[in-house]
């Protein structure tokens, strides 16, 4: 069993890496939380109105709205993607606030931001300026569509990009029609791609001594997630159909109703199909020429489903899923969110973190030598203003003046 994030004893694989995080909403904050989980020192800088996800509720933290607590929530949404960060609130429309960021970047390794393209350039903080002033800096920008093309610079949200990149067109059933995925998969995948790009750039910097600019566009990420439908189109010139829970290239690979709970059967090869048929007491199906190969099962999937459906309808879903797994066949019951989070497997994999009044999901990146850890709970709005500015060399009198001027919120 892997240790909980609260039990980790070391500083993390990214200890010593300093990150200035100017991003908001999901893609950027998710990326910087991953970096923070693994030891990076992440400074989250928010605008005067705060990260808008602070208000994306209910639910909110239990003490929200009480005297002395953060008036902007925070929401459960915010809390789940902003741990392991210190919080600073600045009004970057003011030159004095931008001067603070420049001072913070003097000791930083990474800048992450998702401003509308052109905003930093208008403030005199574009990559041309940053790369000249901080040659070792890795600057990662997350945007909707990138800077190029007819949509360059346009705003983009997850569901919009899912729709535009074809992801919604392959999700759903003939009865439902196209639907967006139930989780913000494009935003989260963009955050993960940002982490990959940052780590690649830091590795390259070890060789050259120079940082570089990284751009992760939600649109690009959405297209990259189209596998296998993009490959099927490019090689077969055939548009995918809405098949519900089924797979366009694999059969049987679908959700089946049982006498109790629905289960998903995922057969990826002929050997697994033979094992599944044995568990289901229909071993002869594996030798049926219609079903003995993956190509045959795909061609004859309607006939195969017609045979399997009544078999599953007569058995206990959880029991047969367990029997299939034990036989080496991928299968599992349909869980709701509560059932998934309470599952013993979730506990065994340390995928829930609860401590110091904080609740969140554990890190899926398990490392034997430098495991992820919870160093800080998500910051309240501007919680570390004075601490961060003092560390950057500002006196208390200077901090008070910056607050009075509105540069520090």
pLDDT digits (tens, 9 = 90+) for 12-38: 999 999 999 999 999 999 999 999 999
> Average of pLDDT values for 146-154?
92
User: Which parts of 76-184 fold into alpha helices (H)?
Assistant: 76-79, 95-105, 119-122, 127-133, 158-164
Q: How confident is the model at residue 9 (pLDDT cuts 50, 70, 90)?
A: confident
Question: Is the model's pLDDT at 167 over the cut of 60?
Answer: yes
Helices 396-405, 95-105: axis angle to 10 degrees equals 140
* 48, 185: one domain: yes
Spatial distance between the Cα atoms of 109 and 321, rounded to a whole number of angstroms: 48
Does 353 fall in a domain?
no
> Average of pLDDT values for 43-66?
86
Does 243 fall in a domain?
no
Q: How confident is the model at residue 2 (pLDDT cuts 50, 70, 90)?
A: low
Q: How confident is the model at residue 123 (pLDDT cuts 50, 70, 90)?
A: very high
Catalytic annotation, pick one of 187, 220, 254, 380: 187
Q: How confident is the model at residue 65 (pLDDT cuts 50, 70, 90)?
A: low
* 95, 163: one domain: yes
**Strands ordered across the beta sheet of 138-143:** 85-89, 41-46, 18-21, 110-113, 138-143, 213-217
pLDDT digits (tens, 9 = 90+) for 186-208: 999 999 999 999 999 999 999 99
Question: Is the model's pLDDT at 8 over the cut of 70?
Answer: no
**Strands ordered across the beta sheet of 331-333:** 253-256, 263-266, 331-333
Spatial distance between the Cα atoms of 56 and 359, rounded to a whole number of angstroms: 17
* 307, 367: one domain: no
**Facing residues of 138 across strands?**
110
SS3 content of the chain, % helix, strand, coil (to 5): 40, 15, 45
User: Would you state the pLDDT for residue 238?
Assistant: 87
Question: Is the model's pLDDT at 64 over the cut of 60?
Answer: no
CB 61 within 8 A of CB 74: yes
Please give the full DSSP string across 92-113, using - where no structure is assigned.
TTSHHHHHHHHHHHTT-SEEEE
Q: What percent of the chain has pLDDT over 90?
A: 89
User: Would you state the pLDDT for residue 82?
Assistant: 97
Q: How confident is the model at residue 4 (pLDDT cuts 50, 70, 90)?
A: confident
> Average of pLDDT values for 317-329?
96
Q: How confident is the model at residue 305 (pLDDT cuts 50, 70, 90)?
A: very high
* 266, 390: one domain: no
* 106, 218: one domain: yes
* 180, 259: one domain: no
Let me know if 187 is a catalytic residue: yes
Does 188 fall in a domain?
yes
What the block records as the tokens of 234 is 């490019």
* 156, 185: one domain: yes
Residue reference for tokens 């001072």 = 103
Q: What percent of the chain has pLDDT over 70?
A: 96
Q: What is the CATH number of the domain that holds 161?
A: 3.40.50.10540
Spatial distance between the Cα atoms of 313 and 276, rounded to a whole number of angstroms: 15
Does 348 fall in a domain?
no
Does 379 fall in a domain?
yes
DSSP for residue 60: B
Which of these three, 342, 376, 393, is where a domain ends?
Answer: 342
Cβ-based burial of 41 (10 A; exposed 0-12, middle 13-18, buried ≥19): buried
Give the Å distances, CA to CA, from 222 to 105, 141, 170, 192, 337.
31, 16, 12, 13, 24
Beta-sheet strands, E only, within 182-230: 213-217
DSSP for residue 90: B
Half-sphere exposure of 23 (CA within 13 A, CB side): 32
Range of the domain at 200: 5-225+361-405
* 299, 262: one domain: yes
Question: Is the model's pLDDT at 72 over the cut of 60?
Answer: no
Arithmetic mean of pLDDT over the chain: 94
Q: How confident is the model at residue 63 (pLDDT cuts 50, 70, 90)?
A: low
DSSP for residue 91: -
> Average of pLDDT values for 127-155?
95
pLDDT digits (tens, 9 = 90+) for 375-405: 999 999 999 999 999 999 999 999 999 999 9
Does 85 fall in a domain?
yes
Count of CB atoms within 10 A of residue 160's CB?
18
> Average of pLDDT values for 264-272?
96
Residue reference for tokens 């500002």 = 394
Spatial distance between the Cα atoms of 266 and 107, rounded to a whole number of angstroms: 50
pTM of the model: 0.92
User: Which parts of 282-374 fold into alpha helices (H)?
Assistant: 294-299, 301-313, 317-326, 337-342, 344-348
Cβ-based burial of 179 (10 A; exposed 0-12, middle 13-18, buried ≥19): middle
* 19, 115: one domain: yes
* 304, 391: one domain: no
Q: How confident is the model at residue 66 (pLDDT cuts 50, 70, 90)?
A: low
Of 216 and 6, the structure prediction assigns the larger pLDDT to: 216
CB 84 within 8 A of CB 363: no
Whose CA is closest to 394, among 386, 382, 405? 386
Q: How confident is the model at residue 10 (pLDDT cuts 50, 70, 90)?
A: confident
CB 352 within 8 A of CB 361: yes
- Strand, helix or coil for residue 307: helix
Q: How confident is the model at residue 42 (pLDDT cuts 50, 70, 90)?
A: very high
Does 269 fall in a domain?
yes
Q: How confident is the model at residue 58 (pLDDT cuts 50, 70, 90)?
A: confident
User: Would you state the pLDDT for residue 11?
Assistant: 87
Tally of domains within the chain: 2
Spatial distance between the Cα atoms of 409 and 388, rounded to a whole number of angstroms: 13
Question: Is the model's pLDDT at 360 over the cut of 70?
Answer: yes
Q: Which long-range contacts (CB under 8 A, 24 or more apart) does 174-182 make?
A: 174/241, 174/242, 174/244, 176/242, 176/244, 177/242, 178/242
* 159, 300: one domain: no
């Amino acid at each position: 069993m892997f240790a909980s994030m609260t039990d980790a004893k070391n500083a993390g694989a990214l200890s010593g890496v300093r990150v200035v995080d100017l991003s908001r909403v999901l893609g950027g904050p998710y990326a910087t939380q991953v970096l923070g989980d693994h030891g990076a020192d992440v400074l989250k800088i928010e605008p005067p109105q705060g990260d808008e996800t602070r208000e994306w509720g209910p639910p909110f933290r239990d003490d929200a709205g009480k005297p002395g607590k953060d008036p902007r929530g925070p929401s459960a949404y915010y809390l789940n993607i902003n741990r392991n960060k210190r919080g600073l609130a600045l009004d970057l429309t003011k030159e004095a606030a931008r001067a603070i960021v420049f001072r913070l970047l003097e000791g930083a390794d990474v800048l992450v931001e998702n401003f509308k393209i052109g905003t930093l350039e208008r403030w005199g903080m574009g990559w041309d300026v940053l790369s000249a002033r901080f040659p070792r800096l890795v600057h990662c920008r997350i945007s909707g569509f990138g800077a190029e093309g007819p949509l360059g610079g346009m705003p983009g949200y997850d569901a919009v990009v899912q729709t535009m990149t074809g992801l919604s067109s392959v999700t759903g059933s003939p009865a439902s029609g196209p639907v967006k995925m139930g989780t913000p998969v494009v935003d989260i995948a963009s955050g993960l791609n940002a982490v990959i790009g940052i780590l690649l750039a830091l590795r390259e910097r070890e060789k050259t001594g120079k940082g570089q600019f990284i751009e992760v566009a939600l649109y690009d990420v959405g297209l990259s997630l189209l596998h296998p439908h993009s490959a099927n189109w490019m090689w077969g010139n055939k548009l995918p159909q809405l098949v519900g829970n089924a797979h366009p290239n694999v059969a049987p690979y679908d959700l089946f109703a049982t006498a109790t709970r629905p289960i998903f059967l995922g057969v990826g090869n002929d050997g697994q199909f033979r094992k599944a048929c044995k568990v289901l007491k229909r071993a002869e199906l594996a030798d049926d020429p219609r079903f003995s190969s993956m190509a045959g099962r795909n061609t004859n999937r309607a006939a195969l489903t017609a045979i399997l459906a009544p078999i599953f309808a007569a058995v206990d879903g959880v029991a047969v899923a367990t029997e299939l797994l034990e036989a080496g066949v991928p299968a599992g019951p349909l869980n709701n969110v509560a059932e998934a989070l309470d599952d013993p497997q979730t506990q065994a994999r340390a995928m829930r973190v609860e401590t110091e009044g904080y609740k969140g999901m554990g890190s899926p990146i398990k490392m034997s030598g430098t495991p992820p850890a919870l160093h800080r709970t998500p910051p309240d709005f501007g919680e570390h203003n004075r601490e961060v500015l003092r560390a950057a060399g500002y006196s208390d009198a200077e901090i008070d003046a910056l607050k009075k001027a509105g540069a520090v919120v």
